[in-house]
Structure 1
Amino acid sequence: MSFLAHVAAEINKKSKSYEVGKLQNLRKKLNNLSRLPSSQLFDQRTVFENWGWHYGGRKELQFNIGIEGDFLRYGVAFSLECSQSLPNIDILVPKIARFNEYLNEFCENFSDLRMWYYEDDIRSSEYMPSSIPQEQVEEGFFIFLGAKSEKAAIDYDRILETLDRLLPIYLFTEGGLPEIALEKRLFDFRFSAGCTEKPSQTSGTLTQRELDIRLRHNDYQRSLYTELSALYGKDNVGTEIYANGLSIDLVVKQGENYWFYEIKTASTARSCIRQALGQIMEYSYWPGHQRAVKLIIVGSAVANQDEISYIEYLQETFGLPLEYKAIRYLQLN
């Protein structure tokens, strides 16, 4: 058995505890099939030495695993390389449009993941999740969204958690389930303690790092998690809590109540409030969402008197449980 075949077998075995493990049942409903297309997420018929995809995925947004040097990639992909089973890419073009529609709305929820592509077997650099540009919707491209793991240290639960997170974009892209089924899944709110590990630095210069908003956001998130865990206990603080396809930066659990935190990296409290206000209200007040008793916007800048007065006006006039917090930034590197 090849290394990748062993990985696929382990994923299949553990997938029974995850939503993505039901993929072939979902595909049966999506495609109105008379029988189950496969009993497993990854079938031996579509797992090869260096890459593999879910059975039936050749004409779909495919759940994909592959070997890239010393790393295992895992996520979803469009393979626009034509073959006997995919004589042209016409069937995938409208699906790419739906994929782009979903990412345009929810790309922030995949900010810890990365995209890259192959063109004529040449790999691109990695970049933040974003819609697929028209120039890449051509025969010969392979476009990937997901993450990597060192082959020597594979965490199968983390792989399956990531694939579960990507399941809604697959369902939306394939477009066959009633919208209500997608919405029901997305409305689910489940608190999970802990801090999601995300990169805090790259191999670039310090200047490049300071200009990288996402890396600074990750630093602030980790620092805030450390501070609040010390105050309320690690079992009561969690990051990247998913609800309605959205990702809440940090949640504190107090009994049956929750506090939602949204982190921004703008240079003034005013800009942080402006950027975060719509998001943090949607987390709590969209129909069917978990209500929070506190909504806290977090930034690196200390609020001045006008900014404080603005928050107080929103509290008093609209009854919003809104606060602004200047983060006590800890250098963690």
Structure 2
Amino acid sequence: MTFSEIVKELNRRIKESDSILLNLQSERSEKKGLKRVSSKFFNDREDILNQGYTFHYGGGDEFQFNIGKEPEYEGEPVFRFGLAFNFQASQSVPDPIGVQQNQIQRFNQLLLDYTSDLSEERFWVWNGSGRTKSTAVGKIFKYHQALGNFLFIGKSIAKELKDITKEDLELIIDEFEYLYPVYQYVQLEMDQAIKLDKVARICFNTEGWVKPSGPVGKSKNQDTHEANHGFGHEEWLFDFSKLINGYHFGFLEPIYKYPDTYVGKVFNVNLITIDSGSKKRYWVGEIQNLEVIGLQENKRIKKEYQKRGWYREMEDQLKAFELDPLLLGEWTGNEWLFNVKFKPEDCKIDNLIEVDPYDKAISSTRYTLINLNKLPSEIEDREGAHGLFGPPLKSDSKPSFAKTSVRTSGPRITEIPHLHYKITESLYQFLDKKGYTVEYERLSPAGGKVDMIGWKGTKATFFEIKTYPNAKACIREALGQILEYSLYPAENRAFKLVIVSHNKSIDLDQKYIKHLRESLNLNLEYWGFDHEKNEVFEIIK
């Protein structure tokens, strides 16, 4: 490709995607009070492109997104992409250093406050006749601020223009999306641009992300792993049957793109997913206190998975869809299988919520870690409904009824079936040791089978086991069943009802159980059960 063709293709890809970079001109306009802005990301004026570089539209006197072909450096071609301070004077900007002084100070402050955020980028200076050596990004000193200097912060590809590929263009866009909060903080003076509350896209899955669900709904973008190979590495993100020292280990592709930058950081990550078939978007939920792990911890955990037979189980799940299990490791060079860890109780996942595709809460649908600036309106409406239950007002609009009885279903949270079996076997042994006479899957007169009944004399305790990813979902799914088994149509068969799960309850779950007991006069309990230790770790009543 020629340089002009590269710029044209980057502009096209950014414009036709749901990239966060589409916000640049509107945010510049709001900050500067501009009436007209370009619809293109990069300036494509021929006189600029002929010089082998360009920058974002309007960025001539700004901290600018910049790409360019440089002379060979240390015997290799250089194609740069990143952010830059351009201190070259022009007729319209005779004092570029003075104009950008505040941005220089904010850049230096960013390095103090967020030391590792630019750890994968490099820094060099072009003084008009040559460039300095590439170094780690550091403070911009006074001696850097010389008229005519060009200060670059970013990355480069050691390729000639003709050798730049579509994969390279995607890499460039990924880098610009990563650097966008830096631009917001430095140029637009948005103090909250660098946040620990993030949004990340995960692959589509119809099995609650406890196991692979096949190609349905997967991305059709050939630049993605899931489009090429039929699965994403997030397929096991909520398989809480696999815990090591209380932590579940998973993989997020947006983290994988910048492992050195993110390692050791702790984020609250909100998850979205997209059904490529229907184009519907879903807000999955939030993982709080998600910690990014390094390569060595990942290797240690992978060995532990292999030792416990969990890795083979993952391979077998891929084989069930006739997918190549070798791809489980090959995509990341047989190195990365995990890059994050979190505790199940920090996973706030319930019913998935379909969101408006134009909701500004989802500012990008690429696999990039972006800032959470607001919750989708559907989520805000639900949160705002707490404590407001009551009859409708006369001024409320009338409902709009569906014109058809056809209902469509999207992705959902599901149980972890193999964990259900493990809890069942372990709970049976536990109850037996506690002196219960235990029955397994006894047919109820109401229909269906009770997971377990523990007898002490003539008093029966009904146990219903659920393995959804949180206690609330387990209580919801178990409650109707266990009440029916015990009471339908008009009998009291059980002395006590117990919902059993592997999840630790939160405060709201505990309040709910106590409210059910008091308001409905139910002898109901929730047990958190550890099948590996064969013990109850909490009883809520």
User: 1:107, 1:18 → 2: CA distance?
Assistant: 26
- CA positional deviation for 1:127: 0.8
Alignment partner of 2:118 out of 110, 123, 146: 110
Provide, for residues 32-90 of structure 1, a one-character-per-residue CA deviation record: whole Å limited to 9, x for no partner: 1122x211110212534411111111110010001123221000000101122321121
The corresponding residue for 1:306 is none
User: 1:156 and 1:141, CA in 2 relative to 1: closer, same or farther beyond 3 A?
Assistant: same
Match of 1:11 in 2: 10
Contact kept, 8 Å, 1:64 with 1:75, in 2: the verdict is: yes
Cross-structure match for 2:93: 86
Q: 1:100 aligns with which of 96, 108, 124?
A: 108
Which residue number corresponds to residue 75 of structure 1? 82
Give the alignment partner of residue 62 of structure 1, picking from 35, 54, 64: 64
In structure 2, the partner of 1:209 is none
Q: How does 1:214-233 map to 2 (within 5 A)?
A: 221-229=294-302, 231=305
Counterpart residue number, 1:168: 181
Stretches of structure 2 lacking an aligned partner (at least 5 in a row): 201-250, 261-292, 312-326, 333-337, 348-373, 375-541
2:406 alignment counterpart: none
- Give the conservation status (yes or no) of the 8 Å contact 2:65–2:82: yes
More relative contact order, 1 or 2 (CA 8 Å, 6+ apart) = 1
TM-score of the superposition, structure 2-length normalised? 0.37
**Inter-CA distance 56–229: structure 2 relative to 1 (3 Å threshold):** farther
Partners of 2:328 and 2:140 lie apart in 1 by 39
The 5 A counterparts of 1:311-322 are none
Give the C-alpha shift of residue 136 in structure 1: 0.8
Q: Note if contact 1:64-1:76 (Cα within 8 Å) is conserved in structure 2.
A: yes
Q: Give 1:188's aligned amino acid.
A: K
Q: Do the aligned partners of 1:58 and 1:85 also contact (CA within 8 Å) in 2?
A: no
Please give the residue correspondences for 1:203-282 in structure 2 after superposition, counting only pairs within 5 Å.
221-229=294-302, 231=305, 250-252=339-341
Distance 2:342 2:169 in 1: 28
Cα separation, partners in 2 of 1:71 and 1:84, compared to 1, 3 Å: same
Shift of 1:161: 1.4
- Per-residue Cα deviation, 1:87-120 (whole angstroms, up to 9, x for no partner): 1121012211111111221131221111111123
Say if 1:5 and 1:49, in contact at 8 Å, map to a contact too: no
- Structural mapping, 1:12-51, within 5 Å: 12-15=11-14, 16-35=17-36, 37-45=37-45, 46-51=48-53
Deviations 1:199-223 (A, max 9, x none): 9xxxxxxxxxxxxxxxxxxxx9434
How far apart, in 1, do the equivalents of 2:92 and 2:297 lie?
A: 50
What is the CA–CA distance in structure 1 between the aligned matches of 2:68 and 2:23, rounded to whole Å?
A: 21
Q: 1:133 to 1:176 in 2, by over 3 A?
A: closer
Q: Output the CA distance in 1 between the equivalents of 2:90 and 2:129.
A: 16
| 1:250 Cα offset (Å) | 4.0
- 3-state SS of paired residue (1:123): coil
Equivalent residue, structure 1, for 2:156: 148
- Looking at structure 2, the residues matched to 229 and 21 of structure 1 have their Cα atoms a distance apart, in angstroms, of 39
* Structure 1 segments unaligned to the other structure (5+ residues): 200-219, 240-248, 259-287, 289-333
**Partner Cα distance (1:4, 1:113) in 2:** 22
The question of 1:52 aligning with 2:79 is answered no
* Aligned CA distance change for structure 1 residues 228 and 67 (closer, same or farther; 3 Å): farther
Q: CA 1:10 to 1:225, structure 2 compared with 1: closer, same or farther past 3 Å? A: farther
**Inter-partner Cα distance in structure 1 for 2:138 and 2:189:** 23
Paired letter, 1:136 = H
TM-score (normalizing by structure 1) = 0.59
Task: Please report how far the alpha carbon of residue 198 of structure 1 lies from its aligned counterpart in structure 2 after TM superposition.
Answer: 7.7
Give, as a single letter, the amino acid of the residue that structure 1 aligns with 2:123: M
Matching residue within 105, 126, 134 for 2:142: 134
Indicate the structure with greater helix content.
Answer: 1
Q: Is residue 189 of structure 2 the alignment partner of residue 187 of structure 1?
A: no
Offset of residue 157 of structure 1:
1.9
Paired AA for residue 252 in structure 2:
S
The count of corresponding residues between Structure 1 and Structure 2 is 224
Determine whether 1:119 maps to 2:127: yes
Change in 2 beyond 3 A, CA 1:256/1:52: farther
Q: What fraction of aligned residue pairs are identical, expressed as a percent?
A: 25
In structure 2, C-alpha distance between the alignment counterparts of 1:158 and 1:229, rounded to whole Å: 27
Q: Contact between 2:28 and 2:188, CA under 8 Å: does it hold in 1?
A: no
- In 1: Cα distance, 2:81 partner to 2:296 partner: 28
Q: Distance in 1 between matches of 2:187 and 2:252?
A: 29
Matched residues in 1 for 2:8 and 2:90: separation?
26
Say if 1:18 and 1:161, in contact at 8 Å, map to a contact too: no
- The offset of 1:29, in angstroms, is 1.2
Contact 1:66 1:74 in 2 (8 A): yes
Counterpart code for 2:26: N
Question: 1:116 is paired with a residue of what secondary structure?
Answer: strand
**8 Å contact kept, 1:195–1:222:** no
In 1: Cα distance, 2:39 partner to 2:90 partner: 25
The one-letter code matched in structure 2 to 1:24 is: Q
**Counterpart Cα distance in 1 of 2:102 and 2:152:** 17
